[in-house]
Amino acid sequence: MTSPVLHDHAKNIIERCREMARITDVPGETTRLFLSPATRDVHTLLLRWMREARLEGRVDDAGNVRAVRPATDRSAPRVLLFSHIDTVPNAGAFDGPLGVVLAIEAIAILADEQLPFAIEVIAFGEEEGIRFGFPFFGSMAVTGQVVPETVERRDSQGNSVAEALYEFGLRPQNIARSCALAPETFAALEVHIEQGPVLEAENLSLGIVEAIVGQSRFELTFTGQANHAGTTPMSLRHDALAAAAHWVTEVERYAANYQQLVATVGQLEVSPGAVNVVPGEARATLDVRHPKDESRHAAVANLLTKAELAAAQRGVRVSAKAMSKQAAVPMNRELTMALQQAAARAGHETHAMFSGAGHDAMILAPQVPTTMLFVRSPGGLSHHPEETVRVVDVEAALGTVLQFIHGLQPPGR
């Protein structure tokens, strides 16, 4: 495969992502929630592109669009290429669609080439979790993780997942049967935009994801004493905001010392919140992520202790409430190495990194060997109409995926 040809394919991938982005439930922006009217049009478009790549597509009962490129041998093992097609409100064109469109393009390029495995493409119908308030429905469906409570969840209009599936012409009661991944699936690869600034800072097209970070979220409440800002000397204050602010700077400083750690205070609310009143209470959130769970736990313990110290210095109390946590998910070591080597063969230096955001790869990884390829996000921008990709980077990703497919060894062969 020569580069000028790949270049044209890369341009085609980008054009198709932009074409898909024009299919929207909200005119003037790209907003495509799970099972929406626009989603049906995207299904039609995807099935057409699949046909053009000689794939017979179908929509499974969880709303995922999928197709299999068979191997010569009907009992051959299977490789999965996947990403998602739903969006956040007012989204860009590439978060999700890039991986799906690139997979179809890769299969079109393979044409009649004979491979010792089948290739399945899945466009997950729900990853962002906007409509029903929880993410990864599509990948949970193919991994057998959809339970009755899942389909009973309701959107803001009061419609349940089950009702929305029925209305779309699907049969939620068949999810377990019609959605499950073929047991012969031995490798899975997601291509996705980075959604961060790391590759841009590294001046590289591609990142090899070694793990998806674990996450801990806390809510902290600093309780001091509201006092008159004029009549209360500094030495007699119990300023809840000063304690919280001190702690915010500690969070920043601590996380900066550890390369793979991120820690964020994204919310901070002060009460009573008047210009002339010493704050009596400050409520803050803490979001800590690290690719190693033990490092994350150590960071959390350290940061909560720092909150207590910052509070105690000012005669302020602090309480911390765990809101959620999620373990880190490592990608499959062998596949990840194979992906890195495929990129090298395709002539691309890569950056070994972790994903700070959740992806369907995280849901699949515990059940099937999974790896993930990041494509540089110009400006680190995503979940934004100006989210974009560079042709050269998409070309690199496509070349890498083709090399990855060519280099894959089915198990036991």
Please report how close the Cβ of residue 286 comes to its own copies at its closest, in angstroms.
8
| Residues of the shown chain interacting with its own copies in the complex, contacts defined by CB under 8 A | 194-198, 201, 213, 215, 217, 227-236, 239, 241-242, 244-246, 248-249, 252, 255-256, 259, 261-270, 272-279, 282, 285, 287, 289, 323, 355-358, 380, 382-383
Which string of b and e fits 278-303 if b means at least 16 CB within 10 Å? bbbbbbbebbbbbbbbebbeebbeeb
The structure tokens listed for 230 are: 């004029």
Please report how close the Cβ of residue 237 comes to its own copies at its closest, in angstroms.
8
Nearer to its own copies, 32 or 246 (CB): 246
Please report how close the Cβ of residue 278 comes to its own copies at its closest, in angstroms.
6
Residue 219 CA to residue 403 CA, distance in Å, equals 46
For the chain, the distance separating the N- and C-terminal CA atoms, rounded to the nearest angstrom, is 26
Which string of b and e fits 247-257 if b means at least 16 CB within 10 Å? bbebbeebbee
The structure tokens listed for 240 are: 């809840």
Please report how close the Cβ of residue 23 comes to its own copies at its closest, in angstroms.
25
Please report how close the Cβ of residue 392 comes to its own copies at its closest, in angstroms.
21
Query: Closest by alpha carbon to 285, among 216, 222, 219, 241?
Result: 219
3-class DSSP string for 96-116 = CHHHHHHHHHHHHHHCCCCCC
Please report how close the Cβ of residue 307 comes to its own copies at its closest, in angstroms.
13
